[in-house]
Amino acid sequence: MPSTASIRSSFKDAKTVVVKVGTSVVSRPDGTVAIGRIASVVEQIAQLRLQGKRVVLVASGAIGVGSTRLSEQAVLSKSIRDHLINPNASASTSARARAAAGQGGLMGLYDTLFSQYSVACGQLLVTEADFQSAPRRERFCDSLRWLLDAGGVPVINENDVTARPELRSLFRDNDSLAVLIALELKADLLLLLSDVAGVYARKPEPGETPELLPCVTRVTKVSFGSKSERGRGGMEAKVEAALEAAESGVGAVVIASGFTQESIARLIGGEALGTVFLDHRSFKDAPSETAPTAQAQAQAARSAARALQLLSHAERVQVLHAMADALEANSAEICAANAKDVAAFATSAKNSGTAMAARLLLTPKKLGGVAKGIRSLAEQPNPLGRTVRLVEISPGLQLEQETVPIGVLLVIFESRPDVLPQVAALSIASGNGVLLKGGKEALLTNGALHKTLCAAIEHSTDGRVPGSALGFVQGRDEIAQLLRLHKDIDLVIPRGSNSMVQHIMSSTRIPTLGHADGICHLYVDAAADVEKAIALTIDSKADYPAACNALETLLLHESLVGRGVAARVLDAAKQAGITVFGGPKASTALGLPPAASLRVEYGELAMAVELVDGVQSAVEHVNAHGSGHTDVIVTEDGAAAEAFLRGVDSADVFHNASSRFADGFRLGLGAEVGISTSRIHARGPVGVEGLLTTRNRLISDSSHLVGDFHTGRKTYTHKDLLAPQARL
């Protein structure tokens, strides 16, 4: 079954599009006409028409327009007024009267609006009778086609004035009318826009942000919310109409909100708005239900993680070994999938880079290395159940704060497929569920890795831990949805380019572990050893210029200029192939080309240099321009070093050591989960402890009530039962 995203991406090629706009979209809450939204609909439809598509608009709202018109006494004809004033007039009669007053105005309005784009609009009022007799239906559809052939936009509404709702069977509402039109025209796309944003998997709890089903077929289980539009149709009727259309030859049907700005243009552009309805029979590969939604995946990961947490440490170690073994056992299959990814990447015209191809390539040897890494992770002490705090609250009442998994992680990574098994193993070792989203160029490889690892988890636990502990996320639609699930996902870990990380961080309310920038400084103090300063500068920048912990701005004490030290450092940098730009002071004093900004992450063999007048200025410069990642002082003056280390407000502050040490492995954390510049939860290089939280276990050896403490029968002792940590 194709992904919903790929179906949506074909909408832009639709030749014939039917758009139905519900009453609530074209009316204001007080029942008068919402011309703002009407005009926006016309504007978007006119654009589609001007792009060469055949577009039909099925519009509601004549009654609304009538309400507005009738509010002005002067336009009331006597007979209509009688209808309204007559207390015996039925609701449907007065609605009919309002429709009569409104229809003309609505017609004129559409005409004027479309004419702004020199698009002719032909307005057609239909009744059920037009569809009940074959000749009348043919005549109506002929007119419709003629109008489309002539380049016009048909605007269709049921003739509310002459319609007889009591006899209605074919036209339950304007949705059914739109479906009939779409079927007659064999439309490629039918958009049903109203106050219904789509279909939900279940009725949301109060206060919960509900998640829309991206895609529905007749076999999908759906729940109908209580919300329905002001018009005649209810939610069930709407879904039924959409399914009917999808199953009877309309390419795709979408139910989406008409209140979303530019919803038509954005839907045609492939954006993931609303719910897409498909014919379940056309998708032979489809499972009995459509693919699990993002939310369902996250919730399945939560539940699997809870099962994982109940395993003993020995059992989790067994799972890790099973994962490592499975990677080696399925090496051939995984590498075959990888070969296809690599081939597709190589033939793609824009991919000439060999570095990226090398990163994408997975060999049996690389896989063996990954398996070895997982086995060494299995040797580590149990990160879970570690006692962080142990306190006697009162005699017989003991509090133990212990480490537990965070819950559900979402890890987003680019290209390198070996990240997937590494992250999966770290998550399993720490008892977390994880949703994995890799780069699309490694899709087949990642799929094969994921399948192998899920099977290993299920098999090694006799099914006690379902494979859904590792979720596999494929499309961009899904990722956008996942980033909204702040109740179902506890932590997002993006691993990739700065722009990717920045995008993720700005798109979600879920806590994110990572850093968007690594603007690291090295300050050479007046009391620095010159040889050390040179070696540390070169090592910090040139060891791996693209790393986030590489030096970007070198701060030199101004006294170093006169002493010739600055020139020596810059010469050495030049020798090492580093291009140097100058800040406002340095460019003048040292004759350097000016840096565009002193807040730049070059990410290559280039850096900025600026002069400062002492350690205090260096601290201020770093705090003002840095990214709180890693900053270094080079000095032989202990007091200056201490002032720098205390004053710089960064995750890592180093004295006479290369900024390149800011790395989980180098700092002895074992596996590195990421480097965080956030001040919350984890900061600096983060190991497996960044995937943990704690839980308080309070255990009474009899029974403890707070009431007994209020009355003084019992007292708090708050005795620490853990020895303080001593320096060895």
**Number of shown-chain residues binding a copy of itself (CB under 8 A):** 114
Binding status of residue 204 toward a copy of itself by CB under 8 A: no
Binding status of residue 332 toward a copy of itself by CB under 8 A: no
d(CA 679, CA 420) in angstroms, rounded, equals 27
* Cβ distance to a copy of itself smaller for residue 239 or 504: 504
Local structure of 53: helix, strand or coil: coil
Residue 10 is which amino acid? Answer: S
d(CA 242, CA 175) in angstroms, rounded, equals 8
* Cβ distance to a copy of itself smaller for residue 354 or 725: 725
Binding status of residue 142 toward a copy of itself by CB under 8 A: no
Binding status of residue 45 toward a copy of itself by CB under 8 A: no
Closest approach of a copy of itself to the CB of residue 343, in Å: 34
Binding status of residue 685 toward a copy of itself by CB under 8 A: yes
Any idea what the Cα angle at residue 297 is, between residues 293 and 302, rounded to 5°?
145
Binding status of residue 109 toward a copy of itself by CB under 8 A: yes
Binding status of residue 205 toward a copy of itself by CB under 8 A: yes
Closest approach of a copy of itself to the CB of residue 692, in Å: 9
d(CA 608, CA 595) in angstroms, rounded, equals 6
Residue 466 is which amino acid? Answer: P
H or E element, residue 502 = helix 498-506
Binding status of residue 703 toward a copy of itself by CB under 8 A: yes
d(CA 704, CA 393) in angstroms, rounded, equals 10
Q: Mask 516-555, x = binds a copy of itself (CB under 8 A)? A: x------------x--x--xx--x---x------------
Binding status of residue 51 toward a copy of itself by CB under 8 A: no
Local structure of 177: helix, strand or coil: helix
H or E element, residue 631 = strand 630-634
Residue corresponding to tokens 């920048």: 541
Binding status of residue 33 toward a copy of itself by CB under 8 A: yes
Q: Mask 54-93, x = binds a copy of itself (CB under 8 A)? A: -----------x--xx-xx--x------------------
Cβ-based neighbours of 288, under 8 Å, separated by 6 or more:
219
d(CA 331, CA 404) in angstroms, rounded, equals 33
* Cβ distance to a copy of itself smaller for residue 34 or 324: 34
The piece of 8-16, 241-249, 338-346, 674-682 that touches a copy of itself (CB under 8 A) is 674-682
* Cβ distance to a copy of itself smaller for residue 431 or 471: 431
Closest approach of a copy of itself to the CB of residue 50, in Å: 9
Binding status of residue 52 toward a copy of itself by CB under 8 A: no
* Cβ distance to a copy of itself smaller for residue 153 or 276: 153
Binding status of residue 657 toward a copy of itself by CB under 8 A: yes
Closest approach of a copy of itself to the CB of residue 691, in Å: 10
- Radius of gyration from C-alpha coordinates of the chain: 33
Bridge partners of 16? 54
Closest approach of a copy of itself to the CB of residue 718, in Å: 4
Q: Candidates 653, 671, 673, 688: give the one binding a copy of itself (CB under 8 A).
A: 653
Binding status of residue 247 toward a copy of itself by CB under 8 A: no
Q: What backbone phi and psi angles, to 5 degrees, belong to 321?
A: -65, -40
d(CA 215, CA 4) in angstroms, rounded, equals 6
Q: Candidates 372, 594, 705, 715: give the one binding a copy of itself (CB under 8 A).
A: 705
* Cβ distance to a copy of itself smaller for residue 205 or 462: 205
Longest dimension (CA), the chain: 103
Binding status of residue 35 toward a copy of itself by CB under 8 A: yes
Binding status of residue 297 toward a copy of itself by CB under 8 A: no
H or E element, residue 178 = helix 174-184
* Region 406-425 residues binding a copy of itself, contact defined as CB under 8 A: 406-407
* Region 632-651 residues binding a copy of itself, contact defined as CB under 8 A: 634, 641, 645-647, 649-651
Q: Candidates 124, 129, 329, 667: give the one binding a copy of itself (CB under 8 A).
A: 667
H or E element, residue 453 = helix 443-460
Task: Give strand ranges (E) for 542-629.
Answer: 551-557, 579-582, 606-612
Any idea what the Cα angle at residue 182 is, between residues 181 and 183, rounded to 5°?
90
Binding status of residue 107 toward a copy of itself by CB under 8 A: no
Binding status of residue 202 toward a copy of itself by CB under 8 A: no
Binding status of residue 668 toward a copy of itself by CB under 8 A: yes
d(CA 137, CA 415) in angstroms, rounded, equals 56
CB 632 within 8 A of CB 654: yes
d(CA 302, CA 407) in angstroms, rounded, equals 6
Residue corresponding to tokens 């003991």: 398
d(CA 351, CA 270) in angstroms, rounded, equals 25
d(CA 345, CA 355) in angstroms, rounded, equals 12
Q: Candidates 202, 306, 321, 375: give the one binding a copy of itself (CB under 8 A).
A: 306
Count the neighbouring beta carbons within 10 Å of the beta carbon of residue 135: 7
Closest approach of a copy of itself to the CB of residue 72, in Å: 4
User: 521: which 2 tokens?
Assistant: 């400084």
Binding status of residue 666 toward a copy of itself by CB under 8 A: yes
Closest approach of a copy of itself to the CB of residue 406, in Å: 5
Q: Mask 310-329, x = binds a copy of itself (CB under 8 A)? A: x-------------------
